[in-house]
Amino acid sequence: MDAASSPPPPFAALRRTYEGLPLSEADLAADPVTQFASWFADAVDAGFPEPNAMVLATSSAGGRPAARTVLLKGYDQEGFVFYTNYESRKGRDLAENPRACLVFPWHPMRRQVRVEGTVVRLPREDSAAYFHSRPYGSRIGAWASRQSAVVRSREELDDRYRQLAERWPEEPPMPEFWGGFRVVPAEVEFWQGQVDRMHDRLRYRRAGGVWLVERLAP
């Protein structure tokens, strides 16, 4: 049976009722990072696998979008941090268009957090401190993978990894092409699922030096 004659997937059977505690303006912290810390702690306490996994959306200078899942590696009042190969597609996108959107999809809790903002590179010393805290294999892997480039085979990757491990059997240096980015938030939306798709959506929006809170229609 080919795809054209296959029955459609039972999307109606996948429907779920979203039931969550109401989210009101009075429930929110004074700033979005403090509110994020509260919800992130809830996701960690709930035992979600990799609660720091987030979708990172970027766009090239020409407007070609791309999205992928990466790991949050830190956050504070300055923003949300992740690390990557600067020569990867996301690295090239951010060099051309330093804006991004993050989504934390905590589906079992019927929650999402969406962050929009500008993106800046971390200082080299900050990236180095994180790089040298990583497991040895991950540090070699950062050198071995020309991220987003076409490779001929898996064997080519494995051979490159072995060669680099032989070159640096103990302490590989940090590559010049690798490091951190910080997403500096301009908007942060907290989404709480509710019955009948009447979800609560509260958005912090930076206006001057203060955060405004706005309710969005679901």
197 counts as catalytic: yes
Closest alpha carbon to 108 in 196, 54, 67, 47: 47
Token pair 């092409």 in the structure block, residue:
177
Count the helix, strand and coil residues of the chain and give each as a percent rounded to the nearest 5: 30, 35, 35
**Six-digit token string for 214:** 């706005």
Residues 6+ apart with CB under 8 A from 16: none
Q: Are 77 and 185 in contact (CB under 8 A)?
A: no
Q: Are 203 and 30 in contact (CB under 8 A)?
A: no
Q: Which of 197, 203, 206, 215 is catalytic?
A: 197
Which of the residues are catalytic?
197
